[in-house]
Structure 1
C-alpha cells in the first residue's frame, strides 16, 4: 500500500513532515496536486498531521489507476451540491431551522432516515411547486470540483450514478446538466401545483442507495473493487460499504469511520488526483 496525499495547493513543508512521520522511502509527484509517499507506514498521528497541513490522504494499492474502476455512485445533497435541498425548500415556508435540525440528526445517524424524511416532507405541504425551481435556480450550486470530477470519470469510461435521499426534481436536472448515466431519488407528490407533504413510490434511503449500486454493478458485470462511492452522511454508509473504494466528502463523523478516503481540503475532483 502507498500513501497518497493531496490538496489544492500542497504545502511542501507539510508534505515532507508527513513523509518523515510515516517513514516514506520516496515522494513521487502524481499530479500537480497529489503525491505518492512510497513505502509509507501507518502512524497514529497521520490524520492529525495531515489536517494541520491542509492535506487529504488515502492508502492505495501499488499500481491502482482510475481506469481500473468501472462505476462511480454519488450522493447529491452536501456531496455533489452545496445544499440540503429540503432545508432550502423549507425556508420558503419559514421552517428552515426546524427542518434543518431533523436533517442534521438524520445525517449524523441519530434518527431513522425514513422517519426523518416523512417528518420533513410533511412540513412542506401546501408549498407551490414553483418553490423547487427557485431553489434550483438561485440556491443550488455544484460543490467545487464536481464538474471536473464527472468529466474525468466519463473520459476514463466509468459509468456514473447519482442517487439521493433528496428529490427527483433536482437529480433529473443535474443528470442532464452533468451527463450522469443514471439518477435515483424520492418523488414529491404534487396536486394542483402544490406539494401535498407526501412522497410517491419507493423511498430512497441508505439501503436503497446500496441496492441501486449493487444492481447496476451486477448489470455491468463489475466486481466490488471496481466501484467508487461518495457521500457525506450516515445515510451513505451502506453505499460506501458496498463499494470497493469509499469517499467521504466533508463527512459527518459516522461516515468518516467507514470511508477509505476523506476529502476535506480539496474539491471533489481530488478523487481524480488520487489515481493520476
Structure 2
C-alpha cells in the first residue's frame, strides 16, 4: 500500500517521522504539500500524528491511479459548495435556526432525509423566489479546489455528475458554471412568484443519489468500480458505498468512517493528489 499525505503545509520533520512509522521505501512529492509514502505499512501512531499536524492521510493500493476511473459524481451542499443552501434560504425568512437543526440531524442520519426535507421546505412558504438568486450571488462559494478538480477531470475524459438533495435552482447554475454533464436535485414549487412550501416531483434522497450514479454508469458503459463519489452527509452513504472510490469531504463522522479517502484539511483537488 501507498500512503498519501497532504495538507495546507507538510513540514519535513513530520514527513520523515511518518515515513519512519510506516516503514516506507521512498517518498515521492506529488504537489507542493502532497507526498506519497511508497510501500507503507499501517502503524497506530500515524493517524494521531496526522490529526495533530492537520494533515490528511489516505491509504491507496500501489498502482491505483486516476486512469483507473471514468466517472465522477459529487454532492453539492457542503461538499462542492461552502453552504447548505436551504439553511441560507431559511435565514432570509427568519427560520434558519429551526431549519439548520433539522438539516444537521438529517446529515447525521438521525432523521429520514425525505421527511426532513418536507419539514424544512414547508418553513420556506411565502418567500419570494427572487431570494434564491440572493443566496446564489451573495452567499454561495465553491469549496477550495473545486474548479481545478472539475477542470482536470474533464481534461482526463471523465463524465461528471452533480447530484444533490438540495435544489435545481443551484445545481442548474453550477452545472453550467463548472461544466458538469448531468445535474439532479429537488425542484422547489413556486406559486405566483413565491415558494409554496412544497417540492415538485420525487424527492432526491439517499436512494435516488445512488440510483443516479448507477444510471449514469450504465448509460455510459462505466462499471461502478470505475466511479469516484464525493459527499459529506449520511444521505450520501449509499452513493459512496456504490462507487469504486469514495471521498468524504469535511464530512460527518459516519461518512468519514465509511469513505476510502477523508479530506478534512485539503481542498477538493486533493482527490487528484491521492490518485496521481
Q: Which TM-score band applies after superposition, normalised by the shorter structure?
A: over 0.9
Q: CA RMSD in A?
A: 1.0
| 2:30 is the counterpart of 1:47 | no
Give 5+ residue unaligned stretches, structure 2.
Answer: none
Displacement after TM superposition at 1:177 (Å): 0.5
| 1:212-241 Cα deviation digits (max 9, x unpaired) | 001111111112221100001111100100
TM-score normalised by structure 1 residue count: 0.97
The aligned counterpart of 2:149 is 149
Classify the secondary structure of the residue corresponding to 2:163. strand
The aligned counterpart of 1:73 is 73
Displacement after TM superposition at 1:32 (Å): 2.5
Over 4 Å off, 4+ runs: none
| 1:11-43 Cα deviation digits (max 9, x unpaired) | 222211211222212112223332111121112
| 1:37-56 Cα deviation digits (max 9, x unpaired) | 11211123322111112211
For residues 226 and 33 of structure 1, what CA distance do their matches in structure 2 show? 27
Contact 1:29 1:36 in 2 (8 A): yes
For residues 218 and 11 of structure 1, what CA distance do their matches in structure 2 show? 44
The aligned counterpart of 1:31 is 31
- Counterparts of residues 207-246 of structure 1 (less than 5 Å): 207-246=207-246
The aligned counterpart of 1:104 is 104
For residues 220 and 13 of structure 1, what CA distance do their matches in structure 2 show? 46
Contact 1:33 1:273 in 2 (8 A): no
For residues 181 and 140 of structure 1, what CA distance do their matches in structure 2 show? 21
For residues 15 and 110 of structure 1, what CA distance do their matches in structure 2 show? 39
For residues 250 and 129 of structure 1, what CA distance do their matches in structure 2 show? 30
For residues 164 and 251 of structure 1, what CA distance do their matches in structure 2 show? 15
Classify the secondary structure of the residue corresponding to 1:257. helix
The aligned counterpart of 2:258 is 258
For residues 95 and 166 of structure 2, what CA distance do their matches in structure 1 show? 17
Give 5+ residue unaligned stretches, structure 1.
Answer: none
Displacement after TM superposition at 1:275 (Å): 2.1
Contact 1:11 1:53 in 2 (8 A): no
**Count of residue correspondences:** 276
Classify the secondary structure of the residue corresponding to 1:162. strand
The aligned counterpart of 1:125 is 125
